[in-house]
Copies of this chain bind each other. A is one copy, B any other.
């Protein structure tokens, strides 16, 4: 008897869509029942549409031969992972209305007042919003979003500090990988022997999403309330395949020592670890002591790409504490975040 829940991947042929498939292959709770794509590829075999982005891991035949479907409300799936383009607003809402539980990587609904923006270790309690979401919108399903790839790793890596001491102000500079711009994405002539110090919309997302992630759900008002943090982000594209590296200067309450900050991060465990969720990293934050880590090549795949790695924790003359953080942008920073969210919400009985 197969009791796995049926899941669909929306926008299955792109970089993030393929990551969803990769992470769902052999999943103990979920089983891929449908793949959707944009209009022009509907009806084609998955394998005929785009190259498979993951070296040395062939797409298995059962996926390769699946016919791509349109993204319609009658999708035969209980849980739906969305890697749609930003025109996703209507489609995700229609699916939620018809009983699908949408775990989305799309930015469209992230800042909606009743849509949880969740990192499973950081703000699992934001799931309480689903009740209001369903009531207000008349949905039998739901939408839960993850966050922007740079933001997810920044927030995961500093959330324990916010919980323990309160983050007042932060300056963060990202050095983001090419896969963050999908495929074909960044032109090679822009990357060989170059850095591009601009990524459209990214700095704003780090600002607003961080404050929502670290904020609270106001049960009475039925809306999320932002955390009171002042943030400044500088976003850059560097010539790395996967893995966003970020330097952060933080102003914390209570002036903890470097040893206290280090211990706080190293010891952090969240709800996914308590529940031993299938995709949960054992250590959501890995703290490294070497002077020159984390590095994308060496650290992005730690805990199967589901952890953030932090290093160089030291005093910052301007804001108090500084560090380097790094994480895999298409795993924990995108598809993996939503898969873990779905596991959390399923385990908690919320979907």
Contacts and interface: CB of A to CB of B under 8 A. Distances in A.
A97 interface: no
A219 interface: no
B301 A171 contact: no
B187 A186 contact: yes
Contacts of A317: 207, 230-232
Contacts of A296: 193-195
A194 B291 CA distance: 16
A7 interface: no
A241 B298 contact: no
A188 B312 CA distance: 23
Contacts of A291: 198, 200
A190 interface: yes
A240 B188 CA distance: 9
Interface in A195-216: 195-198, 200, 207
Tell me the number of copies of this protein: 4
Interface residues of A, number: 61
A192 interface: yes
A173 interface: yes
Contact of A236 (B175, B196, B197, B299): B175
A126 to B, nearest CB: 24
B299 A171 contact: no
A60 interface: no
B236 A192 contact: no
A221 interface: no
A312 to B, nearest CB: 7
A223 interface: no
Interface in A42-68: 53, 55-56
Contacts of A175: 175, 195, 236, 238
Interface in A222-263: 230-232, 234, 236, 238-241, 245, 247, 249
Interface string A278-308: 0000000000000111111111111000000
Given A55-B298, A171-B249, A197-B294, 18 more contacts: A55-B300, A173-B247, A175-B238, A178-B188, A187-B188, A188-B191, A188-B239, A192-B193, A193-B240, A195-B295, A196-B295, A197-B324, A198-B291, A198-B312, A200-B291, A232-B318, A232-B322, A238-B238
Interface of A: 53, 55-56, 169-171, 173, 175, 178-179, 183-198, 200, 207, 230-232, 234, 236, 238-241, 245, 247, 249, 291-302, 311-312, 316-319, 322, 324, 326
